[in-house]
Structure 1
Amino acid sequence: MGPMNALDKFDLTILRLLQQDATFSNAQLSELVNLSPSQCHRRVKRLEQEGYIHHYVALLDHRKLGLTVHAVVIIKVRDVSQESKAAFREQIRHYRLMTECWAIAGDKDVILKIVAPSLESYSDFLSEKILSMDNVASAESYLLLDNMKYTTEVPIGDHD
Protein backbone atom coordinates (compact mmCIF):
# COMPACT_ATOMS: atom_id res chain seq x y z
CA MET A 1 0.00 0.00 0.00
CA GLY A 2 1.44 3.34 -1.07
CA PRO A 3 1.08 6.63 0.81
CA MET A 4 -1.59 7.86 -1.63
CA ASN A 5 -4.09 5.30 -0.28
CA ALA A 6 -4.70 7.44 2.81
CA LEU A 7 -5.86 10.35 0.64
CA ASP A 8 -9.34 10.69 -0.81
CA LYS A 9 -10.50 12.78 -3.77
CA PHE A 10 -10.97 15.88 -1.58
CA ASP A 11 -7.41 15.63 -0.26
CA LEU A 12 -6.03 15.17 -3.77
CA THR A 13 -7.99 18.15 -5.07
CA ILE A 14 -6.77 20.30 -2.18
CA LEU A 15 -3.16 19.31 -2.93
CA ARG A 16 -3.59 20.02 -6.67
CA LEU A 17 -5.09 23.45 -5.99
CA LEU A 18 -2.46 24.45 -3.41
CA GLN A 19 0.30 23.47 -5.84
CA GLN A 20 -1.20 25.88 -8.35
CA ASP A 21 -1.73 28.71 -5.84
CA ALA A 22 -0.80 28.39 -2.18
CA THR A 23 -2.38 31.78 -1.46
CA PHE A 24 -5.95 30.48 -1.76
CA SER A 25 -7.84 31.46 1.37
CA ASN A 26 -9.58 28.68 3.24
CA ALA A 27 -12.92 30.11 2.05
CA GLN A 28 -11.80 30.03 -1.61
CA LEU A 29 -10.34 26.55 -1.23
CA SER A 30 -13.43 25.13 0.48
CA GLU A 31 -15.63 26.52 -2.31
CA LEU A 32 -13.40 25.04 -5.03
CA VAL A 33 -13.23 21.65 -3.29
CA ASN A 34 -16.92 21.72 -2.35
CA LEU A 35 -16.44 21.22 1.40
CA SER A 36 -17.42 23.38 4.36
CA PRO A 37 -14.68 25.82 5.45
CA SER A 38 -14.17 23.91 8.73
CA GLN A 39 -13.86 20.54 6.95
CA CYS A 40 -11.45 22.04 4.42
CA HIS A 41 -9.35 23.68 7.15
CA ARG A 42 -9.11 20.38 9.08
CA ARG A 43 -7.99 18.55 5.94
CA VAL A 44 -5.30 21.13 5.09
CA LYS A 45 -3.98 21.01 8.67
CA ARG A 46 -3.89 17.17 8.53
CA LEU A 47 -2.07 17.26 5.17
CA GLU A 48 0.48 19.63 6.71
CA GLN A 49 0.89 17.56 9.89
CA GLU A 50 1.28 14.30 7.95
CA GLY A 51 3.96 15.86 5.74
CA TYR A 52 2.09 15.84 2.42
CA ILE A 53 2.51 19.62 2.44
CA HIS A 54 6.16 20.24 3.28
CA HIS A 55 6.01 24.05 3.32
CA TYR A 56 4.75 27.02 1.32
CA VAL A 57 6.95 29.19 -0.90
CA ALA A 58 6.80 32.10 -3.32
CA LEU A 59 8.23 31.45 -6.79
CA LEU A 60 10.32 34.44 -7.79
CA ASP A 61 11.12 35.81 -11.23
CA HIS A 62 14.81 35.02 -11.70
CA ARG A 63 15.32 37.50 -14.54
CA LYS A 64 13.81 40.43 -12.64
CA LEU A 65 16.17 39.59 -9.79
CA GLY A 66 19.15 39.54 -12.15
CA LEU A 67 19.73 35.81 -11.85
CA THR A 68 20.23 35.11 -15.53
CA VAL A 69 22.72 32.25 -15.48
CA HIS A 70 21.36 28.76 -14.84
CA ALA A 71 23.58 25.71 -14.97
CA VAL A 72 23.78 22.05 -14.13
CA VAL A 73 27.02 20.55 -12.86
CA ILE A 74 27.54 16.79 -12.86
CA ILE A 75 30.17 15.62 -10.41
CA LYS A 76 32.25 12.49 -10.00
CA VAL A 77 33.56 12.11 -6.44
CA ARG A 78 36.69 10.33 -5.31
CA ASP A 79 35.17 8.66 -2.25
CA VAL A 80 31.55 7.50 -1.97
CA SER A 81 31.70 6.40 1.67
CA GLN A 82 28.97 7.55 4.10
CA GLU A 83 31.51 9.76 5.89
CA SER A 84 32.48 11.49 2.63
CA LYS A 85 28.81 11.95 1.66
CA ALA A 86 28.10 13.52 5.04
CA ALA A 87 31.12 15.84 4.72
CA PHE A 88 30.06 16.85 1.18
CA ARG A 89 26.50 17.49 2.36
CA GLU A 90 27.75 19.67 5.19
CA GLN A 91 30.15 21.58 2.94
CA ILE A 92 27.50 22.51 0.34
CA ARG A 93 24.68 23.26 2.77
CA HIS A 94 25.22 27.00 2.79
CA TYR A 95 25.99 27.55 -0.90
CA ARG A 96 23.21 29.95 -1.85
CA LEU A 97 23.89 29.82 -5.60
CA MET A 98 23.13 26.09 -5.51
CA THR A 99 19.37 25.52 -5.57
CA GLU A 100 19.39 21.71 -5.84
CA CYS A 101 21.79 18.87 -5.18
CA TRP A 102 20.99 15.25 -5.93
CA ALA A 103 22.92 12.01 -5.55
CA ILE A 104 22.50 10.19 -8.86
CA ALA A 105 22.78 6.65 -10.20
CA GLY A 106 25.21 5.89 -13.02
CA ASP A 107 28.88 6.58 -13.59
CA LYS A 108 28.68 10.05 -11.99
CA ASP A 109 27.66 10.71 -8.40
CA VAL A 110 26.07 14.12 -7.87
CA ILE A 111 24.14 16.67 -9.92
CA LEU A 112 23.86 20.32 -8.90
CA LYS A 113 21.55 23.08 -10.13
CA ILE A 114 23.12 26.52 -9.89
CA VAL A 115 21.62 29.98 -10.38
CA ALA A 116 23.92 33.01 -10.65
CA PRO A 117 23.78 36.68 -11.65
CA SER A 118 26.59 36.44 -14.20
CA LEU A 119 28.94 34.04 -15.98
CA GLU A 120 31.79 35.49 -13.95
CA SER A 121 30.09 34.80 -10.61
CA TYR A 122 29.12 31.32 -11.83
CA SER A 123 32.70 30.62 -12.90
CA ASP A 124 34.04 31.88 -9.56
CA PHE A 125 31.57 29.73 -7.66
CA LEU A 126 32.47 26.67 -9.71
CA SER A 127 36.21 27.06 -9.29
CA GLU A 128 36.34 28.41 -5.71
CA LYS A 129 33.59 26.32 -4.12
CA ILE A 130 32.94 23.18 -6.17
CA LEU A 131 36.19 22.28 -7.92
CA SER A 132 38.24 23.14 -4.83
CA MET A 133 36.47 20.48 -2.74
CA ASP A 134 38.83 17.63 -1.88
CA ASN A 135 36.35 14.91 -2.79
CA VAL A 136 35.46 16.26 -6.25
CA ALA A 137 37.34 14.23 -8.87
CA SER A 138 35.70 15.86 -11.90
CA ALA A 139 32.85 18.18 -12.81
CA GLU A 140 31.00 18.65 -16.10
CA SER A 141 29.29 21.99 -16.41
CA TYR A 142 26.27 22.69 -18.62
CA LEU A 143 24.75 26.14 -19.10
CA LEU A 144 20.97 26.01 -19.42
CA LEU A 145 19.84 28.13 -22.38
CA ASP A 146 16.14 27.93 -23.17
CA ASN A 147 13.68 26.98 -20.45
CA MET A 148 11.08 24.91 -22.29
CA LYS A 149 9.23 23.77 -19.15
CA TYR A 150 9.48 24.71 -15.51
CA THR A 151 7.06 23.70 -12.81
CA THR A 152 7.15 22.84 -9.15
CA GLU A 153 3.89 20.90 -9.47
CA VAL A 154 4.15 17.14 -9.09
CA PRO A 155 1.60 14.79 -10.67
CA ILE A 156 -1.05 13.80 -8.13
CA GLY A 157 -3.27 10.78 -8.72
CA ASP A 158 -3.11 10.77 -12.52
CA HIS A 159 0.33 10.11 -13.97
CA ASP A 160 1.04 10.87 -17.64
Structure 2
Amino acid sequence: MQETGIDKFDRKLLAALQQDGRLTNAELSERINLSASQCARRRVRLEEAGWIKSYHAVLDRERLGFGLINLISVTLATHNRDSAKQFAELIMRLPEVMEAHALTGEMDYMLKVVTRDLKGLSSFVNDYLLPHDAVQNVKTSIVLDTIKEGGGLPL
Protein backbone atom coordinates (compact mmCIF):
# COMPACT_ATOMS: atom_id res chain seq x y z
CA MET A 1 0.00 0.00 0.00
CA GLN A 2 1.42 3.35 -0.94
CA GLU A 3 1.62 5.90 1.79
CA THR A 4 1.53 8.97 -0.44
CA GLY A 5 -1.50 11.08 0.15
CA ILE A 6 -1.95 10.54 3.88
CA ASP A 7 -0.55 12.53 6.78
CA LYS A 8 -0.21 11.95 10.53
CA PHE A 9 -3.84 12.96 11.16
CA ASP A 10 -5.05 10.49 8.53
CA ARG A 11 -2.96 7.79 10.23
CA LYS A 12 -4.49 8.64 13.62
CA LEU A 13 -7.96 8.61 12.09
CA LEU A 14 -7.31 5.23 10.42
CA ALA A 15 -5.91 3.77 13.64
CA ALA A 16 -8.94 4.93 15.63
CA LEU A 17 -11.43 3.60 13.06
CA GLN A 18 -9.53 0.33 12.84
CA GLN A 19 -10.18 -0.17 16.56
CA ASP A 20 -13.80 1.01 16.43
CA GLY A 21 -15.43 1.62 13.07
CA ARG A 22 -18.53 3.10 14.75
CA LEU A 23 -16.78 6.19 16.05
CA THR A 24 -18.65 9.38 15.23
CA ASN A 25 -16.86 12.35 13.76
CA ALA A 26 -17.19 14.10 17.12
CA GLU A 27 -15.50 11.17 18.88
CA LEU A 28 -12.77 11.09 16.23
CA SER A 29 -12.32 14.82 16.73
CA GLU A 30 -11.55 14.31 20.41
CA ARG A 31 -9.10 11.48 19.71
CA ILE A 32 -7.05 13.08 16.95
CA ASN A 33 -7.39 16.78 17.80
CA LEU A 34 -9.13 17.97 14.65
CA SER A 35 -12.60 19.45 14.25
CA ALA A 36 -15.48 17.08 13.61
CA SER A 37 -16.01 18.59 10.15
CA GLN A 38 -12.33 18.00 9.26
CA CYS A 39 -12.64 14.41 10.50
CA ALA A 40 -15.75 13.92 8.37
CA ARG A 41 -14.01 15.26 5.24
CA ARG A 42 -10.93 13.14 5.87
CA ARG A 43 -13.01 10.01 6.51
CA VAL A 44 -14.94 10.47 3.25
CA ARG A 45 -11.70 11.11 1.33
CA LEU A 46 -10.05 8.01 2.81
CA GLU A 47 -13.12 5.89 1.98
CA GLU A 48 -13.37 7.20 -1.58
CA ALA A 49 -9.65 6.73 -2.19
CA GLY A 50 -9.83 3.12 -0.98
CA TRP A 51 -7.75 3.50 2.18
CA ILE A 52 -10.81 2.31 4.10
CA LYS A 53 -12.22 -0.72 2.31
CA SER A 54 -15.27 -1.46 4.47
CA TYR A 55 -16.69 -1.63 7.98
CA HIS A 56 -17.58 -4.87 9.77
CA ALA A 57 -19.19 -6.09 12.95
CA VAL A 58 -17.19 -8.71 14.89
CA LEU A 59 -19.60 -11.49 15.81
CA ASP A 60 -19.32 -13.94 18.70
CA ARG A 61 -18.41 -17.16 16.88
CA GLU A 62 -19.09 -19.48 19.81
CA ARG A 63 -22.47 -17.94 20.71
CA LEU A 64 -23.47 -18.45 17.09
CA GLY A 65 -22.63 -22.15 17.39
CA PHE A 66 -19.29 -22.37 15.62
CA GLY A 67 -17.25 -24.18 18.27
CA LEU A 68 -14.18 -25.01 16.21
CA ILE A 69 -11.63 -23.01 14.29
CA ASN A 70 -9.72 -25.20 11.86
CA LEU A 71 -6.59 -24.49 9.88
CA ILE A 72 -6.55 -26.59 6.74
CA SER A 73 -3.64 -26.88 4.35
CA VAL A 74 -4.45 -27.90 0.80
CA THR A 75 -2.13 -29.11 -1.94
CA LEU A 76 -3.40 -29.15 -5.51
CA ALA A 77 -2.98 -32.18 -7.78
CA THR A 78 -1.74 -30.08 -10.69
CA HIS A 79 -0.35 -26.60 -10.75
CA ASN A 80 -1.97 -24.68 -13.54
CA ARG A 81 -4.30 -21.70 -13.84
CA ASP A 82 -7.43 -23.80 -14.35
CA SER A 83 -6.86 -25.83 -11.17
CA ALA A 84 -6.16 -22.71 -9.14
CA LYS A 85 -9.20 -20.94 -10.59
CA GLN A 86 -11.52 -23.92 -9.95
CA PHE A 87 -10.27 -24.23 -6.38
CA ALA A 88 -10.66 -20.50 -5.75
CA GLU A 89 -14.23 -20.64 -7.08
CA LEU A 90 -15.01 -23.50 -4.68
CA ILE A 91 -13.54 -21.63 -1.71
CA MET A 92 -15.48 -18.46 -2.53
CA ARG A 93 -18.76 -20.44 -2.39
CA LEU A 94 -18.11 -21.96 1.05
CA PRO A 95 -19.27 -19.70 3.89
CA GLU A 96 -17.33 -21.73 6.48
CA VAL A 97 -14.08 -20.40 4.99
CA MET A 98 -13.13 -17.29 6.93
CA GLU A 99 -9.77 -16.79 5.24
CA ALA A 100 -7.95 -18.40 2.33
CA HIS A 101 -4.34 -17.75 1.42
CA ALA A 102 -2.31 -18.96 -1.57
CA LEU A 103 1.19 -19.87 -0.38
CA THR A 104 4.68 -20.66 -1.49
CA GLY A 105 6.35 -23.81 -0.20
CA GLU A 106 5.04 -27.31 0.45
CA MET A 107 1.35 -26.50 0.49
CA ASP A 108 -0.60 -24.41 -1.98
CA TYR A 109 -3.32 -22.96 0.26
CA MET A 110 -4.01 -22.37 3.94
CA LEU A 111 -7.66 -22.05 4.94
CA LYS A 112 -9.14 -20.79 8.17
CA VAL A 113 -12.48 -22.58 8.50
CA VAL A 114 -15.12 -22.51 11.22
CA THR A 115 -17.33 -25.50 11.95
CA ARG A 116 -19.83 -26.30 14.65
CA ASP A 117 -18.02 -29.45 15.76
CA LEU A 118 -15.78 -32.35 14.63
CA LYS A 119 -18.59 -33.82 12.57
CA GLY A 120 -18.90 -30.52 10.74
CA LEU A 121 -15.15 -30.50 10.07
CA SER A 122 -15.31 -34.05 8.75
CA SER A 123 -18.22 -33.16 6.48
CA PHE A 124 -16.46 -30.06 5.21
CA VAL A 125 -13.31 -31.97 4.29
CA ASN A 126 -15.05 -35.08 2.91
CA ASP A 127 -17.93 -33.37 1.11
CA TYR A 128 -16.20 -30.30 -0.35
CA LEU A 129 -12.42 -30.46 -0.36
CA LEU A 130 -11.45 -34.07 -1.04
CA PRO A 131 -13.93 -34.68 -3.88
CA HIS A 132 -12.75 -31.59 -5.76
CA ASP A 133 -10.78 -32.51 -8.90
CA ALA A 134 -8.04 -29.96 -8.20
CA VAL A 135 -7.28 -31.20 -4.66
CA GLN A 136 -4.55 -33.75 -4.05
CA ASN A 137 -3.93 -33.51 -0.29
CA VAL A 138 -5.65 -32.00 2.75
CA LYS A 139 -4.23 -31.65 6.27
CA THR A 140 -6.32 -30.32 9.13
CA SER A 141 -5.37 -28.77 12.46
CA ILE A 142 -7.85 -27.76 15.13
CA VAL A 143 -7.15 -24.51 16.99
CA LEU A 144 -6.97 -25.20 20.73
CA ASP A 145 -6.80 -21.57 21.85
CA THR A 146 -6.66 -18.21 20.11
CA ILE A 147 -3.99 -15.94 21.53
CA LYS A 148 -4.49 -12.99 19.17
CA GLU A 149 -7.12 -12.45 16.54
CA GLY A 150 -8.11 -9.62 14.26
CA GLY A 151 -5.12 -7.47 15.01
CA GLY A 152 -5.12 -4.23 13.10
CA LEU A 153 -2.39 -2.88 10.87
CA PRO A 154 0.53 -1.28 12.74
CA LEU A 155 -0.17 2.36 11.99
TM-score by shorter chain over 0.5: yes
Q: Which deviations, in whole Å up to 9, do the C-alpha atoms of 1:79-124 show, x marking residues without a partner?
A: 2212221121112211011111110010210110000111111110
Q: Is the 8 A contact 2:86 2:134 kept in 1?
A: no
Q: Which deviations, in whole Å up to 9, do the C-alpha atoms of 1:19-43 show, x marking residues without a partner?
A: 1111111111122111112211111
1:4 corresponds in structure 2 to: 3
- Please give the alpha-carbon distance, in whole angstroms, between the structure 1 residues aligned to 2:59 and 2:10: 27
- Please give the alpha-carbon distance, in whole angstroms, between the structure 2 residues aligned to 1:55 and 1:24: 14
1:29 corresponds in structure 2 to: 28
Aligned residues: 155
Q: Is the 8 A contact 2:84 2:134 kept in 1?
A: no
**For structure 1, which runs of at least 5 residues remain unmatched after alignment?**
none
Q: Which deviations, in whole Å up to 9, do the C-alpha atoms of 1:116-138 show, x marking residues without a partner?
A: 11111111011100111111110
Q: Is the 8 A contact 2:67 2:114 kept in 1?
A: yes
Letter in 2 for 1:75: V
- Please give the alpha-carbon distance, in whole angstroms, between the structure 2 residues aligned to 1:118 and 1:135: 26
**Following TM superposition, where does structure 1 have runs of at least 4 consecutive aligned residues deviating by more than 3 angstroms?**
none
- Please give the alpha-carbon distance, in whole angstroms, between the structure 1 residues aligned to 2:74 and 2:113: 13
Match of 2:142, SS state, is: strand
1:103 corresponds in structure 2 to: 102
Determine what percentage of the aligned residue pairs are the same residue.
35
Matches within 5 A, 1:75-90: 75-90=74-89
1:58 corresponds in structure 2 to: 57
Match of 1:52, SS state, is: coil
Q: Which deviations, in whole Å up to 9, do the C-alpha atoms of 1:3-30 show, x marking residues without a partner?
A: 1232110000011000111111111112
**For structure 2, which runs of at least 5 residues remain unmatched after alignment?**
none
- Please give the alpha-carbon distance, in whole angstroms, between the structure 2 residues aligned to 1:110 and 1:26: 40
TM-score in terms of structure 1 length: 0.92
2:142 corresponds in structure 1 to: 143
Kindly report the root-mean-square deviation, in angstroms, between the aligned alpha carbons of the 2 structures. 1.2
- Please give the alpha-carbon distance, in whole angstroms, between the structure 1 residues aligned to 2:126 and 2:151: 29
- Please give the alpha-carbon distance, in whole angstroms, between the structure 2 residues aligned to 1:84 and 1:13: 43
1:44 corresponds in structure 2 to: 43
TM-score in terms of structure 2 length: 0.95
